[in-house]
Structure 1
């Protein structure tokens, strides 16, 4: 018998295949993170990172141009852990699954961030400064460059906050 996650993944796949639904990937991300209890500012900080990591596509299947990174968060060293998480939890790769994995990591349900970093990122999510949240998310979770040819994480986070909240 299929679980609710399987059913939601199937619905998402069908919608994607037929172009149904008016929801953008950004709005889907916002909705999922709101359901998980993230504040608007924390969501904007995470969106800024996702926008930079995906070059603005917000595509959960995004692949790195000159490397092995993959997904919304451009999983590199986390990639095998993510795919193990999918297998262990009988999930398929999807926007929802990538956000679920990130959520489990930043909440300490999956031990990957190192000593004290779960507390640091959780405290960061309570900040009032979207740019600071974006920087902290990068430092603790993404571990990427603050700026690329596409833009800067903190500025993208502020843009997303003004657009969606």
Structure 2
């Protein structure tokens, strides 16, 4: 997934969450003020009809607050889902994170192998159909493995390598 697309989406979700939290805080403040007014004016019988209306508004405010809290939780779950979709494999070298591309690494290793074979006089091996077929299968397999299986496996390997580098 393209990180340029995810970043605005996540920032928009954060803005939504902040707006909802502000509205919730405002409603909590209003609710507290109404409860204080009700508790202070509870002795006066002339205000009883107003208290009933205020109780209705308190219930409405409480329902609104609970709905917004549910929305906040749903948005937090969506943000967590976006974070889990991050399929980039990175390795930490010092303070810098470097993106690893397994297909590129395998392609580079194959290039070194071909260069070594040519240097040692194995030009016939390099241009043979069997050798080229094996290289094609290796590159296609690495792409398939990367697409389906690599992220969890390679992230474990990357974290182990990071720990070794830190030592």
- Alignment TM class, shorter chain as reference: under 0.3
The structure in which a higher percent of residues are helix is: 2
Q: Greater relative contact order: 1 or 2 (C-alpha under 8 angstroms, separation 6 or more)? A: 1
Q: If the length of structure 1 is used for normalisation, what is the TM-score? A: 0.17
Larger radius of gyration: 2
Q: If the length of structure 2 is used for normalisation, what is the TM-score? A: 0.17
